[in-house]
Amino acid sequence: MAYPKPLERLIAAFERFPGIGRRTAERLAFHVLRDPEAGELAEAVKDAALHTRRCRLCHNVTEDDPCVLCADPARDPALLLVVEEPRDVEAVERARVWRGRYHVLLGAFNPAEGTEERHLTIGPLVQRLSRGEVKELVLATDPDSEGEATAQLVLAAVDRAGLALTVTRLARGVPAGSALEYLHKGVIQDALDYRIPLRTPRA
Ligand SMILES: [Zn+2]
């Protein structure tokens, strides 16, 4: 016996989420049916989908474009931290240890799972850097094999463009395999304070 159509539609919507199989999608859908605040959830989903966009400069998720971080004159425009996901920006902001700006790559290089270089915002990053305002690019991709490969792609793109800037990466205070978003403030602070040079302007 099939479920009613509206319920099937809800289950199918949950199934599109990463890591959610049919059984979990069903469980979530039934949870929504029982939830007296389900209307609020529906509104929140719609509101988030309709009223957030990508910042045209840093590609972070935002209500306003450019985002509040790019628009903040108190932030040092010479320092740019490159991260994989908006969640990473959130983690570094929570730690309150970074006074520069950000660039969100919107993923990590992982061809096996369909993320190629062209899916990342490396091209827009190089364009942004070519304006010459940024003096140091800090690579803060995750310390796993995808993050390493991604950092190498960014470095290669900077080299190809012949840009006069320093490139550093976070120190190894970041434990291997742990995503930036889960780190404590002190670890992020150390990783930033002891960042390692990869390239100097004259390299
Ligand atoms: Zn921005």
The alpha carbon of 181 and the centre of ligand 1 are apart by a number of angstroms equal to 18
- Residue 187 pLDDT class (50, 70, 90 cuts): confident
Q: Radius of gyration over alpha carbons of the chain, in Å? A: 20
How many other CB atoms are there within 10 angstroms of residue 128's CB atom?
Answer: 18
Using the predicted structure, report yes or no on whether residue 96 has a pLDDT greater than 60: yes
The alpha carbon of 92 and the centre of ligand 1 are apart by a number of angstroms equal to 14
The alpha carbon of 182 and the centre of ligand 1 are apart by a number of angstroms equal to 22
What value, to the nearest 5°, has the Cα angle with vertex 201 and ends 195 and 203? Answer: 95
The alpha carbon of 199 and the centre of ligand 1 are apart by a number of angstroms equal to 25
Comparing 49-53, 144-148, 163-167, 197-201, the range with the smallest average pLDDT is 197-201
Using the predicted structure, report yes or no on whether residue 165 has a pLDDT greater than 80: yes
Percent of the chain past pLDDT 90, that is, above it, reads: 77
The alpha carbon of 186 and the centre of ligand 1 are apart by a number of angstroms equal to 25
The alpha carbon of 130 and the centre of ligand 1 are apart by a number of angstroms equal to 17
Q: DSSP for 105-167?
A: -SS--BGGGTB-GGGSTHHHHHHHHTTS---EEEE---SSHHHHHHHHHHHHHHHHHT---EE
Q: Which DSSP category does 2 fall into?
A: P
The alpha carbon of 141 and the centre of ligand 1 are apart by a number of angstroms equal to 18
The alpha carbon of 55 and the centre of ligand 1 are apart by a number of angstroms equal to 5
Percent of the chain past pLDDT 70, that is, above it, reads: 95
Q: Are 174 and 183 in contact (CB under 8 A)?
A: yes
The backbone torsions φ and ψ at residue 47, rounded to the nearest 5 degrees and listed phi first, read -60, -45
Q: Which H, E and C letters describe 34-97, residue by residue?
A: HCCCHHHHHHHHHHHHHHCEECCCCCCEECCCCCHHHHCCCCEEEEEEEECCHHHHHHHHHHCC
Q: What is the pLDDT of residues 188-200, one digit of tens each?
A: 888 888 888 888 8
The alpha carbon of 62 and the centre of ligand 1 are apart by a number of angstroms equal to 8
The alpha carbon of 197 and the centre of ligand 1 are apart by a number of angstroms equal to 25
Using the predicted structure, report yes or no on whether residue 170 has a pLDDT greater than 70: yes
Q: What is the pLDDT of residues 27-69, one digit of tens each?
A: 999 999 999 999 999 999 999 999 999 999 999 999 999 999 9
